[in-house]
Amino acid sequence: MALDEIKIGGLGASRRRVEDNRFIRGKGNYVDDIVLPGMLHMELLRSPVAHARIKSIDVSKAYEIPGVRLVLTGEMMAARNLAWMPTLSYDTQAVLATDKVRFQGQEVAAVIADDPYIAKDACQAIVVEYEQLPVIVNPFQAMESGAEVIRDDKENQPGNKVFDWEIGDKAATDKAFAEADVVSKMELHYPRSHPSPMETCGSIADFNRATGKLTVYMTSQAPHIVRAAVAMVAELPEHMIRIVSPDLGGGFGNKVPIYPGYVISILASILTEVPVKWIEDKTGNLISTGFGRDVYLQGEMALRKDGKIMGMRMKTISDHGAFYADAQPSKFKIGLMHSAFACYDVPAAHLESVGYYTNKAPGGVAYRCSFRVTEAMFFQERMIHGAANDLGMDQAEFRRINLVKDDMFPYRTAFGFLTDSGQYGKCLDIGMKAIGYDTYKQEQEEARKRGKLLGIGISTMTEPLGAGNSREYDILGIKMFDSAELRVHMSGKAILRTGAMNQGQGHQTTWAQIVAHELGIPADDVTVEEGDTDTAPFGMGTYASRSTPVAGAAVAMVARKIRAKARKIAAHLLEVSEEDIEWELGRFYVRSNKERGVTIQDCAIAAYSNMPDGMEPGLENNAYYDPPNLTWPFAAYFVKVEVDAETGVWDVLKVVAVDDCGVRINPMIVEAQIMGGLTEAYAMASMQYQTYDDEGNCIGSNYMDYLLPTAWETPGFELHEVVTPCPHHPIGAKGVGECATVAGPAAFVNAVVDALGHLGVRNIDMPMMPNRVYEALTTGKDISGMPPVRMGD
């Protein structure tokens, strides 16, 4: 009898999470929970100013404080060739400043002391003399002729430009615009946002002089990449470096880059020969680590009167901060921005992207998305909304006309991506029904008569998730594959290790479900481990929704290798030839006699005790998986709002999410990922953003200024499911963790703009704070750019 897949915790089971057992008891093991004998504590001194030449640094007063063991400055790093390090975008980034500080919060010195309080005291005792320089806080200032050059450390640096890049067919696009009935234009800004996981970054570096081995416990979403980079930067042999990511208190892309604090703690441990712990405070995290977004768009669409999109042009101007440290593995300078409009049939498209340095924190991380995909899809859906209005067409109808139809797959987009599957129209229908779209126009009219402003916003998109393939995607030359290693013990229990790194997604639970699906070993019998480079197979880590598409595929593939060997063992045990054997979940049997069979557990013990002649003992293997393509989930989100005409406050009445992420491993976890993503979408639409005043002071440097929604503001969500399996993934799954963050923001903005549409308002840039909405509804004008910063009186 085949096993009941749901009962053994296989695919489709909403299996309760294994990792919860420790978290609900307060027994998680985050980096700050780890205490090593003799450990010292490190604290960073950060620049209070955004742009200044360092005249002098005097650390003598810091050394007078009892308990201070070491003070590190840029000069001391430079003496060891560690003052600068490479970024993931082939730029350089200061570890500790030597010549200039280039953003507020930049690392200037580090104190290593007996306890964190002493280290903090000693930072205050360091005297730094700065000579202030002109400050640049947006790309428009950066591009002015004669603007102060921020990166004067680089040879041949043309002003403040980072890159100037284009893709698409310009001539065909120009032709589409020349022949268009209607041209719809939109200028947008996606404000700077910080992923802000609850846990900040931190590390404990432990260099053992006796063995020459360096162990670093750290908050990394990609420990193997860190090992490769540390080997490169610190010139230590790779086998003498062990990177361990313990439990991570969230990541969202913030914990992909390598930050100065990690590097400094490593040098500090080498110099002091004891473990050195660095735990960033929240302000340090918000003002210095990888931000997301901060991109301006000029978008245009060439439209035919009947609603068909004929062409699209985008020009993006992006703000990269002081160092080009975008965490992205593509050869495309602005990540996957050109995935915009991938769900629509657009014959001609052109994208031009220009990036600039500014005196702001470096980053440009993929904040809960593939690389720049959140910006791409936000711009897309705001442009779609504007175009439908410019044509006088219904929002849903305009989308339906232009969405790629089911029979058009595989579909090559104008920018060259290959989307492979989906039922876009079906998702749209389900969402429309759930939100009550049919009666909505009438409802909106009637509400307006009563002075109430109702709006519905739609956002539909497909996004590329799960980098690589290795032909196009790499980090520092390492191809974007992932890996899994499975050992089946003789009792049929197993341990699985992957190159991914959980940070709340529930890998311990879901990877075991894939093994259960492939081998019939109950999920409860499978231990999952990740994050230790000494034991886990080499993998590229977890971000950009790549775990299930890549590492998850590797798990299925390694399980199939195990099954192939087990089949040979089964044939031996059943005394028939391998060709006469059939498989059903958990069991091989003789084709001619279904009763005669052996379980996978029988094969496991036989692999150690009764293997066929000539067979290598044991039942373990590994798999490295290089995906043939990205996966392309589809999302259709509907948001209904009511705007208060007297205050500009908007309430969310209903959120409907229809997600097609292919086969769902654990529906409970998938749904929770979508709800979490929708909440971040709501956050960015309503309140969560970072800005800078004219002097480069970061506004949003703590949770009093950087607003995150609580349980009280956050709306409820209604979720729906469509399943179109991914044609190239071994179990048909697609990425999903980020769909809602990517497609969600436009749904909220479209809803509020729809509510104000009759007043002539075409756009309100995020964050849609009530005062901005109020200004739009009282003036009928668009609200663009960042909220003004009120300077101190």
Partner 1 sequence: MTSLYDEVQAAPGEGVPTRRVTIKVNGADRTVDVEPRLLLAHLLRQGLKLTGTHTGCDTSNCGACTILFEGRPIKSCTMLAVQADGHSIETVEGMATASELHPIQEGFKEEHGLQCGFCTPGMMMAAKALLDKNDNPTEDEVRWALSGNLCRCTGYQNIVKSVLWAAEKMRAESK
**Could you say whether residue 272 binds partner 1 (CB under 8 A)?**
no
3-state secondary structure of 124: helix
Closest approach, Cβ 674 to partner 1, in A, equals 8
**Could you say whether residue 506 binds partner 1 (CB under 8 A)?**
yes
**Could you say whether residue 680 binds partner 1 (CB under 8 A)?**
yes
Using the rule CB under 8 A, which residue among 75, 174, 187, 281 binds partner 1?
281
**Could you say whether residue 710 binds partner 1 (CB under 8 A)?**
yes
Residue 45 vs 137, nearer CB to partner 1: 45
**Could you say whether residue 408 binds partner 1 (CB under 8 A)?**
no
Q: Which of 381, 463, 680, 738 is catalytic?
A: 738
3-state secondary structure of 483: strand
688 catalytic? Reply is no
Alpha carbon 610 to chain centroid, angstroms: 47
Between residue 282 and residue 311, which ones bind partner 1 under the rule CB under 8 A?
A: 282-283
Residue 197 vs 627, nearer CB to partner 1: 197
- Contact segment (CB under 8 A) with partner 1 among 201-209, 333-341, 597-605, 700-708 equals 700-708
Between residue 185 and residue 224, which ones bind partner 1 under the rule CB under 8 A?
A: 196-200
Strand order from edge to edge, sheet including 241-244: 68-73, 107-113, 40-46, 276-279, 202-208, 213-218, 241-244
Residue 6 to residues 102, 354, 514, 520, 527, Cα–Cα distance (Å)? 55, 51, 12, 11, 18
**Could you say whether residue 789 binds partner 1 (CB under 8 A)?**
no
The residue count for binding partner 1 (CB under 8 A) is 61
Contacts of 82 (CB under 8 A, 6+ apart): 95, 233, 234, 263, 267
Using the rule CB under 8 A, which residue among 4, 58, 99, 115 binds partner 1?
115
Closest approach, Cβ 356 to partner 1, in A, equals 29
- Contact segment (CB under 8 A) with partner 1 among 12-20, 84-92, 582-590, 689-697 equals 12-20
Q: Computed from CA positions of residues 558, 563, 568, 573, in that sequence, does the dihedral angle turn out positive or negative?
A: positive
Instruction: Kindly give the pairing relationship between strand 593-599 and strand 698-699.
Output: unpaired
Closest approach, Cβ 152 to partner 1, in A, equals 35
Between residue 134 and residue 173, which ones bind partner 1 under the rule CB under 8 A?
A: none
Burial class (CB in 10 A: 0-12, 13-18, 19+), 649: middle
Using the rule CB under 8 A, which residue among 711, 788, 790, 792 binds partner 1?
711
Closest approach, Cβ 551 to partner 1, in A, equals 18
Q: Computed from CA positions of residues 544, 549, 555, 557, in that sequence, does the dihedral angle turn out positive or negative?
A: negative
Using the rule CB under 8 A, which residue among 6, 7, 16, 392 binds partner 1?
16
Contacts of 21 (CB under 8 A, 6+ apart): none
Using the rule CB under 8 A, which residue among 712, 788, 790, 792 binds partner 1?
712
**Could you say whether residue 9 binds partner 1 (CB under 8 A)?**
no
Residue 250 vs 425, nearer CB to partner 1: 250
* DSSP E strand stretches across 191-280: 202-208, 213-218, 241-244, 276-279
Place of tokens 């002391």: 113
Q: Which of 123, 201, 343, 369 is catalytic?
A: 369
Residue 21 vs 132, nearer CB to partner 1: 21
**Could you say whether residue 505 binds partner 1 (CB under 8 A)?**
yes
Place of tokens 């958990």: 586
**Could you say whether residue 118 binds partner 1 (CB under 8 A)?**
yes
- Contact segment (CB under 8 A) with partner 1 among 71-79, 224-232, 450-458, 671-679 equals 671-679
Using the rule CB under 8 A, which residue among 26, 158, 451, 792 binds partner 1?
26
DSSP letter at 240 equals G
Contact in structure between 451 and 643 (CB atoms under 8 Å): no
Q: Report the distance separating Cα 9 and Cα 510, nearest Å.
A: 9
Q: Which of 69, 102, 368, 497 is catalytic?
A: 368
Place of tokens 């798999």: 623
Using the rule CB under 8 A, which residue among 702, 778, 779, 784 binds partner 1?
702
Residue 54 to residues 101, 102, 146, 634, 702, Cα–Cα distance (Å)? 7, 10, 22, 50, 26
Contact in structure between 391 and 305 (CB atoms under 8 Å): yes
Residue 40 vs 340, nearer CB to partner 1: 40
Instruction: Kindly give the pairing relationship between strand 127-132 and strand 309-319.
Output: unpaired
Residue 103 vs 252, nearer CB to partner 1: 252
Closest approach, Cβ 737 to partner 1, in A, equals 10
Residue 31 vs 236, nearer CB to partner 1: 31
**Could you say whether residue 714 binds partner 1 (CB under 8 A)?**
yes
Q: What are phi and psi of 91, to 5 degrees?
A: -105, -175
- Contact segment (CB under 8 A) with partner 1 among 30-38, 122-130, 343-351, 420-428 equals 30-38
Closest approach, Cβ 561 to partner 1, in A, equals 31
Tell me which amino acid residue 67 is.
G
Q: Report the distance separating Cα 366 and Cα 253, nearest Å.
A: 5
700-725 b/e with 16+ CB inside 10 Å = b? Answer: bbeeeebbebeeeebbebebbbbebe
Least Cα distance to 33 among 242, 202, 153 occurs for 202
User: Between 310 and 339, how does the x/- string for binding to partner 1 read (CB under 8 A)?
Assistant: ------------------------------
Q: Report the distance separating Cα 322 and Cα 142, nearest Å.
A: 11
Using the rule CB under 8 A, which residue among 30, 165, 409, 583 binds partner 1?
30
221 catalytic? Reply is yes
**Could you say whether residue 708 binds partner 1 (CB under 8 A)?**
yes
Closest approach, Cβ 17 to partner 1, in A, equals 7
Closest approach, Cβ 288 to partner 1, in A, equals 15
738 catalytic? Reply is yes
**Could you say whether residue 28 binds partner 1 (CB under 8 A)?**
yes
**Could you say whether residue 249 binds partner 1 (CB under 8 A)?**
yes
**Could you say whether residue 363 binds partner 1 (CB under 8 A)?**
no
Contact in structure between 674 and 740 (CB atoms under 8 Å): yes
Between residue 552 and residue 611, which ones bind partner 1 under the rule CB under 8 A?
A: none
126-158 b/e with 16+ CB inside 10 Å = b? Answer: bebebeebebbbbbebbeeeebbbbbeeeeeee
Least Cα distance to 265 among 83, 111, 46 occurs for 111
Residue 117 vs 524, nearer CB to partner 1: 117
- Contact segment (CB under 8 A) with partner 1 among 164-172, 327-335, 391-399, 498-506 equals 498-506
603 catalytic? Reply is no
Contact in structure between 231 and 240 (CB atoms under 8 Å): no
153-156-162-168 Cα dihedral, nearest 10 degrees = -160
Residues with catalytic annotation? 221, 368-369, 738
| Binding residues for partner 1 (CB under 8 A) | 16-17, 19-28, 30, 32-33, 35, 38, 65-67, 114-115, 117-118, 196-200, 247-252, 281-283, 503-506, 668-669, 672, 675-680, 702-704, 708, 710-712, 714, 716-717
